[in-house]
Chains A and B, each alone.
Chain A
C-alpha cells in the first residue's frame, strides 16, 4: 500500500453502476449495416482508402493515419462498402461526418494480421503498430495513443493505468478488468516498455472490489512489478489530473501535460486495445459499451464500431417511455441527436433517458455567490467567477482565471442551488476563445501575404522603370541604383 493523496473538491453522485454489472459482457449481434466515421480520433484524418462498392475484410484500413498526430480507421467486419457519405455524427451538434457505410456479409472474415514480437522489436515499430492499428485513448478524449506513448522527449518515471471509471452508470472498464485482467496486464507490459517508466500503478476506485481482485491476480503474475491501488470513490477521481494527484501527489501544471511531472496515464480499455493491436495484431474494430438507464436488461456489450446506437440499445430492451439516448455518463455525456448515429471509439456508455430518469432541470436562477461550486471544483478553480466572465463575454478575464484548466466534469453544475448550466457557459467561452485565436491567425497570415504582395508590386515597378531607363535612346549606361540593375538582370 502506498500513501495516497487527495484532490480538492469532488462530489458523491448516486452511482447506478450495479444494474449493468450483474451480467457478463455479451457479444453484440451484428448490425444490419455499420456506419463508420473515418475520423474517430483527435488529430488529422487520412483520405479514404476504399471506394463505393468495394469488398472489405474485417480489420482492413478504411483511412490511414495522416502524419504523426493521427490514427487509422478500420472496417469492423467483412462486407461491402455500400456508400462513402455524410452521416450524422455522435456529436453534440448533430452535424454530418464522412462515414463509410458497410453492408456486412456475415462471414466476419479477418484481413491478414500477425502479432508483433514487441519485446525484440524496435519501439518505433510498436508505436507504428499502435498508430496503424487505430489505437486511441478510450477514456473519452480519443487522443492517439502512439503520440502519448512516444514520450516527446520528456522522461517519464511513473505509468498510471486509469481504471477509475468514476462517472455514474458507466461500467465498461469495470467489467473489462473483471473479465480480461490478464490481457490488460500484457498491455501494461507493452506500454511500460514504450514509456520506460520505472513505476507502474493501476488506479481503481474502491467501489469495484471484483475488478481490484482480478487485476491484483493478473498483475501479480506479470513479469514486471505492477501495483494495483484502490483509490477512494469520489467523482471525478478517474479524471487524469485527479488520479495523478491521488496516486503520486504531483499536480499537473496549469495548461500543462502529465508528462511535465514525469507521469503518463492510459485508460484500461486503451491498454486492452494496445494488447490486441500488438500481441494479436488486431486493429481496433470493437469496444465494450455499457448500455444502461431506462432499459429492461442493462449490461455491457462488446460492440463493433459503427453499430447504430439504436440497434445496440435494442439488445438491452429500452422501456417504452425512452425519449432519447445519452452518449457517455449523465455528468459529462451529451444527448445524441438521433439513435441512427453509430458507436465510435469514444462511446463508452449509452444511457437510455426518460423524463422520469432525467427530469428536465428547473430554469436557472441568478447566481447567489454561495461558493458551493468552488468547494466542489476538482481543478481548484472559481466556477462562479468563470461563469460571471463567460456570461459577460469577458473572455480575456475568463482565460486569466484559468478557464482552460476546467475539465468540464460537471461537479459545479451538480451542486449549484440555482441550477445554472455552468459547464455550458465554460464550453461556450472556450469555443469563443478558440475561434478568436483562429481568426487572429488567419488575419496575421492575410497581413503577411498582403504585405509581401505590395513589396513584390513595388519591386516589379522598379524593375520596369530600370529596364525602360536602360533601353531609352541616349540613356546613361548605369541605371539609377546598383540594386535595380541587379534586379533587372535577374528578371531578364
Chain B
C-alpha cells in the first residue's frame, strides 16, 4: 500500500517537474496565431480595416475583437484563407470598409512637389525618398499602394496609378468555357 503511494507520488513529482521545466524552457512569446494571421494579411499597412496596420488587425482578429472580413486589399481570397486558418465561416467583405481597388502605385508629380516631407512621414513602409525643400519621389518597388500619402499632401501632387499588365506580370487566364458563355 505505502509502496504504491510512494511510487505514484514519485511519478507525479517527476512528470510535474518535467512539465514545469517545459513550460519555462519552451514558453511561446505572444500568441502564435497572430503571426499566422499576419502572414496572410497583405501588409499594405493601409489601415482601411480601422486598425493602425496589419499587425494590430491580426491581433484584434486573434482576440476575437475584429471580424475577418475587414481587409479590402486582401479581397475575398484572403478572407477565405483566414476562414480556413481560424476554422470559421467565410463571409463577404464588410459593408463598412472601402471597396477593393486594383493594385496601384503612388506617383508624385515632381513639378508640383514643394518638398514638405509630410508624405514621407505618412508612408508606413518608407517608400518615399526626399528631404525638406527637395523634390520627393516614390520608390516604386516598395510602394504598397496604401494611399496614406494622399491626404497629407498640401498641393495634391500625388496620384494613384493602377499597375498595368506587361510581359513581366502577364499570366494565363482561366480557360473560358464556350458552352457556358453561349
Contact = CB atoms under 8 A, between A and B. Distances in A.
Q: Do A and B come from one complex?
A: yes
A262 interface: no
A89 B170 CA distance: 13
Contact of B167 (A97, A430, A445, A449): A97
A421 B175 contact: yes
A196 B143 CA distance: 46
B133 interface: no
A450 B172 contact: no
A427 B169 CA distance: 14
Given A95-B167, A97-B167, A439-B42, A449 B125 contact: yes
Interface in B60-81: none
Nearest to A445: B142
Contact of B142 (A430, A431, A434, A449): A449
Given A89-B167, A95-B167, A445-B142, A450 B175 contact: no
A93 B45 contact: no
Q: In the complex, which range does the number of interface residues on chain B fall in?
A: 20 to 34
Contacts of A444: 43
A449 B127 contact: yes
A409 to B, nearest CB: 16
A435 interface: yes
B44 to A, nearest CB: 7
B29 interface: no
Nearest to B121: A457
Interface in B133-171: 142, 144, 165-167, 169-171
A443 B46 CA distance: 12
Contacts of B38: 447
B80 to A, nearest CB: 10
A197 B102 CA distance: 51
Given A443-B42, A449-B142, A432 B171 contact: yes
Nearest first, the 8 A-B pairs at minimum CB distance are A431-B171, A427-B172, A443-B43, A446-B43, A424-B175, A449-B125, A93-B170, A447-B43
20 contacts: A93-B165, A93-B170, A95-B167, A97-B167, A424-B172, A424-B175, A428-B174, A430-B172, A431-B172, A435-B171, A443-B41, A446-B125, A446-B144, A447-B38, A447-B54, A449-B125, A450-B124, A450-B125, A453-B124, A453-B126
A459 interface: no
A227 B166 CA distance: 44
Contacts of B115: none
Interface of B: 38, 41-45, 53-54, 124-127, 142, 144, 165-167, 169-175, 177-179
A91 interface: yes
Interface string A417-458: 000010011011011101100010011111101101100000
A95 B42 contact: no
Contacts of B167: 39, 89, 91, 93, 95-97
Interface in A30-61: 39
Nearest to B103: A439
Which of B41, B125, B126, B177 has the largest count of A CB atoms less than 10 A from its CB? Answer: B125
A421 B179 CA distance: 13
Contacts of A431: 171-172
Contacts of B178: 363-364
A428 B175 contact: yes
Contacts of A39: 167
A464 to B, nearest CB: 15
B142 A446 contact: yes
Contacts of A97: 167
A292 B124 CA distance: 57
Given A445-B142, A446-B43, A428 B173 contact: yes
A450 B123 CA distance: 9
Contacts of B174: 425, 428
A246 to B, nearest CB: 30
Most chain A CB within a 10 A radius of its CB, from B38, B45, B166, B171: B171
Contacts of A364: 177-179
A363 to B, nearest CB: 5
B126 A449 contact: yes
Contacts of A427: 172
B165 A95 contact: yes
A423 to B, nearest CB: 9
A449 B144 CA distance: 11
A446 B142 CA distance: 7
Nearest to A422: B175
B79 to A, nearest CB: 14
Nearest to B127: A449
A447 B142 CA distance: 11
A252 to B, nearest CB: 24
Nearest to A439: B42
A42 to B, nearest CB: 12
Interface in A120-157: none
Interface string A177-191: 000000000000000
Contact of A428 (B41, B124, B172): B172
B177 A363 contact: yes
B63 to A, nearest CB: 20
A446 B179 contact: no
Contacts of A421: 175
B171 A450 contact: no
A446 B175 contact: no
Nearest to A91: B167
Contacts of A439: 42
Most buried by B among A92, A96, A425, A431: A431
